[in-house]
Amino acid sequence: MILADVFDKRLIKLNLEGTDKATVFEELVGAISTVKPELNSEKMLLALHEREAKMDTSVAPGIAIPHGYFHDLKGIIGALGFSPNGIDYGAPDEEPVHLVVMLLLGEGEHERHLKVLSQVLTLIQSGALSQIRNFPSPQTVYDILCSTGSF
């Protein structure tokens, strides 16, 4: 599995409209529902909010990786969003989040989930996604995700 299998360029939003965590979750889940109409939006949102209630998913200044287990899904699906203005995410540092990497995971995907997280964090730490505000298109972001190699 590679990140290209998890992310779809139609699920990369470079200008999120939401200004808080809840509306951004709805926006990205709405995008997932457009690509995967067989998945129930309400259940996806519930999975994300349940996980978020256990522990905040902001992982670095300006970056959050919300994720949740969604039993109606086979595999893993990801959506990536960028907000030029920032999102009131409730992060521990109280700073706005600009990059949101959302993951929904099917049952039994624990090991691959950790591998996907590792690859995403590697991209973040390397700075590959740090200039996302300058990227001209979702295709550019998708190409960066695809360049991470396979597991």
What residues does each domain of the chain span?
3-146
Tokens of 124: 């973040």
Mean local confidence (pLDDT), 48-67: 90
**Averaged pLDDT, 77-102:** 92
∠ CA 60-66-69, rounded to 5°? 140
Residue percentage of the chain with pLDDT more than 90: 56
- Per the CB < 8 A criterion, the answer to whether 39 and 32 are in contact is yes
pLDDT in tens, 29-43: 999 999 999 999 999
The pLDDT value given to residue 83: 94
Q: What is the pLDDT of residue 150?
A: 39
Which CATH code fits 3-146? 3.40.930.10
pLDDT over threshold 60, residue 48 = yes
Average pLDDT value for the chain: 89
- How far apart (Å, rounded) are the C-alpha atoms in residues 84 and 9? 19
Buried b / exposed e over 40-50, threshold 16 CB at 10 Å, is: eeebbbebbee
